[in-house]
Structure 1
Amino acid sequence: MKLLSLVVISGIFFSIANFTSESPKHGESMLTVHLPEFRLIPTTGASGPESFVFDFSGEGPYTGLSDGRIVKWLANESRWIDFAVTTPTREGCEGPHEHQRTEHVCGRPLGLAFDKSTSNLYIADAYMGLLEVGPEGGLANKIVTDQLDEPLTFTNSLDIDPRTGVIYFTDSSSVYQRRNYIGAMLSSDRTGRLMKYDPNTKQVTTLLSNLGFPNGVVLSETGDYLLVAETITCRILRYRLNDTSSASKSLEGYEVFADRLPGFPDNIKKSPRGGYWVGLNTKHSKLTEIGMSNPWLGRAALSLPVDWMKVHSYWAKYKGNGMAVRLSEGSGVITEVFEGKNGNKWMSISELEERDDGTLWVGSVNTPFAGMYKF
């Protein structure tokens, strides 16, 4: 019986990385973009450039890597340079080894954002929490201490209000660390939080709790609401700021901005053409839909003697199916789809950063390179 359960659950799990040719059924004027010509930019010494940010001089991008470093791209010299680290414990961090085994010691920087008033870089590190480093880089300083009622376990993404300097960030789980995020997915964990940090008062506030793997977060162009990617439920939530009216919020405190996305959402970023790009780590298949409808299957999988993180890592290398979708500003409808075809498929896409000049930077937590596309 246990062997049969393993076969069934493995089939559902593997299908998380299985390609499906079905197009998302959202939007009346949806455009699918296939870009066969692109440039791969290897990351030296480590992998997983998940998120990108440019400074206010337009330099960069900056990105975090699997060995705990934050690096900066020098466009004129076509190379990466070290910019910052999130922990002083660097012995054994760099070099060729399985970084996932050491990231709880070396740090794993994920979300990044510059503060316009100070040019300081704020960092959401999965293990070290919320940190800050000056414009010259170096060792980042922790700004949210462990004195919280419930310590940060899996700090993931952040965005900054340029008017107030307030930082909004996600803590994806209070149970599972990043090095076991598959456990959070399989168990349908709902201990994630949306939080804010006010640098003026040094206070941390929980805005939403009981979320299913809250991931990317972005402040709207008008600054009146936040969008949060809830990975487990494959939807985007809207949290209205400074609005306590019962008419605009459900009992949970949020609205659903976009539902039934065609894959598992990761980061979310504004597009200069309007709307929001959402990176989808992997696309759905029929079996993942069955798994999402029957969460007991995932919990049963966790009881089996299987290293699901390793299984997922191996399978993703052979079944690349990441994509990104652009959602409309007002209604959350999918208006554009970005994905590779044939030999240009991505094993996963965590973020798509679009620049004013039509350049697209594509990040992935799995690859040893960043992608740069040009419209």
Structure 2
Amino acid sequence: MPISQKVPTWFAVPVVFAVLSVISYQTLVVTDNLKGTKNILAMAKTIPIPVDGPESIEFDPQGEGPYAAVVDGRILKWRGDDLGWVEFAHTSPHRGNCSKHQVVPTCGRPLGLTFEKKTGDLYICDGYLGVMRVGPEGGLAELVVNEAEGRKVMFANQGDMDEEEDVFYFNDSSDKYHFRDVFFAVVNGERTGRVIRYDKKTKEAKVVMDNLRCNNGLALNKDRSFLLSCESPTGLVHRYWIKGPKAGTRDIFAKVPGYPDNIRLTPTGDFWIGLHNTKNNLWRLVEKFKLGKLVEKTVKLEVLAAFMNGFKPHGIAVKISGETGEVLEILEDKEGKKMKFVSEAYERADGKLWFGSVFWPAVWVLDRSK
């Protein structure tokens, strides 16, 4: 008797469905496998933090820290293994109902951190409140700028300081979404992201780049002749020329294989970019057929985030040349054993590479000097 006659229909249907589900998952949902990477991030030391989402990390002019911007609106400072994390500053006076695990808009959501070396002031890009500043002693930050050219700063993300010119550059990622809806901002297709130049002397906020898609990370190069702004949906790294014969113009500096978040200058003049993850074919279909607005209306934010990460968040950091933009190195924790949702990679002169996470309650450090 043929096998097809031995197997009842009620059994065959779910088997076929299961096989198709596996094939669909592998084809559509599993994220790209990067080639030539160094799978070494699981070797990093984990430093747990009592609040989720140390999205950006920074060190003060004395080299102390790191300082970490976390989900409940505070900036915490690492005081070593004995003292642990202590509170340094917060961006909102409303502290009554702040959560250690979820964003509460009234509490603010600090993202990019930048210390001004000559003053010790910490500049904070808050995803709800705008650009804030707090002095070397910490405490409640004060508002610096929340509007540019008549439009409110909705989603201040990461910035960098040109101390010679007394200018602070920062990303405003969207005119519709705040931080909590960042995945909708990624898939929606809107191009309302801006790079803003804030002159500390004149207090003027001027848009120098616009028409960007959820531009996330921003950094100046070593001689401050240009800045880079990373688009999360496209993986494009845009360059804006500040000085020289091309001043005031823009071009594409690089493209990275995934969803870039923050970008940091290295001591040698290259850049590290934290990647949330690589892309999958499901995302490419959404892009090709412009389904972002439909996805926003029909898919819950948590489900969207899971699909975009292939249900397997893991750590990735990409190093690009500060001269050419070419990819120099890719580090991974392929299985996500330690690192998940990497938002920033910060290289120190001592050879240590520090990592932050936009959602996970940990900071990591990898000593590459050994």
TM-score range, shorter chain: 0.7 to 0.9
Deviates more, 1:60-69 or 1:138-147: 138-147
Q: How many residues align?
A: 345
Q: Give me the whole-angstrom Cα distance separating, in 2, the residues matched to 1:234 and 1:167.
A: 24
Mapped pair 1:254 → 2:250: yes
Residue aligning to 1:272: 267
Q: Evaluate the alpha carbon distance shift between residue 373 and residue 142 of structure 1 in structure 2; reply closer, same or farther with a 3 A threshold.
A: same
Residue aligning to 1:301: 295
Residue aligning to 2:32: 20
Residue identity (%): 36
Higher relative contact order (CA 8 A, sep 6+): 1
**Length-normalised TM-score, structure 1:** 0.85
Q: Give me the whole-angstrom Cα distance separating, in 2, the residues matched to 1:300 and 1:314.
A: 15
Q: Which runs of 5+ in 1 are unaligned?
A: 1-7, 24-29
Q: Evaluate the alpha carbon distance shift between residue 31 and residue 357 of structure 1 in structure 2; reply closer, same or farther with a 3 A threshold.
A: farther
Q: Give me the whole-angstrom Cα distance separating, in 1, the residues matched to 2:155 and 2:200.
A: 21
Letter in 1 for 2:320: L
Q: Contact 2:222–2:269 at 8 Å: present in 1 too?
A: no
Letter in 1 for 2:253: F
Residue aligning to 2:102: 99
* 1:193-212 matched pairs, under 5 angstroms: 193-212=194-213
Deviates more, 1:314-323 or 1:329-338: 314-323
Q: Give me the whole-angstrom Cα distance separating, in 2, the residues matched to 1:35 and 1:42.
A: 16
Q: Which runs of 5+ in 2 are unaligned?
A: 1-20
| Matched position secondary structure for 2:76 | strand
Structure 1 runs of 4+ off > 6 angstroms? none
* 1:57-206 matched pairs, under 5 angstroms: 57-75=62-80, 77-94=82-99, 98-100=101-103, 102=104, 104-146=105-147, 149-206=150-207
Q: Deviations over 1:126-161 (max 9, x none)?
A: 011001100000000001145850001011000001
Q: Evaluate the alpha carbon distance shift between residue 235 and residue 53 of structure 1 in structure 2; reply closer, same or farther with a 3 A threshold.
A: same
Q: Deviations over 1:240-288 (max 9, x none)?
A: 014575xx77xxx4110002x2101111101224410011111123333
RMSD: 2.4
Letter in 2 for 1:255: D
Q: Who wins on radius of gyration, i.e. which is larger?
A: 2
Q: Contact 1:31–1:335 at 8 Å: present in 2 too?
A: no
| Matched position secondary structure for 1:186 | helix
Q: Deviations over 1:109-142 (max 9, x none)?
A: 0001111221111100001100110000000000
Q: Give me the whole-angstrom Cα distance separating, in 2, the residues matched to 1:147 and 1:54.
A: 28
* 1:357-372 matched pairs, under 5 angstroms: 357-372=350-365
Q: Contact 1:268–1:279 at 8 Å: present in 2 too?
A: yes
Q: Deviations over 1:191-210 (max 9, x none)?
A: 01000111111110100111
Q: Deviations over 1:189-232 (max 9, x none)?
A: 10010001111111101001111111111111011000110112
Residue aligning to 2:258: 263
Letter in 2 for 1:241: I
Counterpart of 1:292 (choices 270, 287, 290) is 287
Letter in 2 for 1:184: A
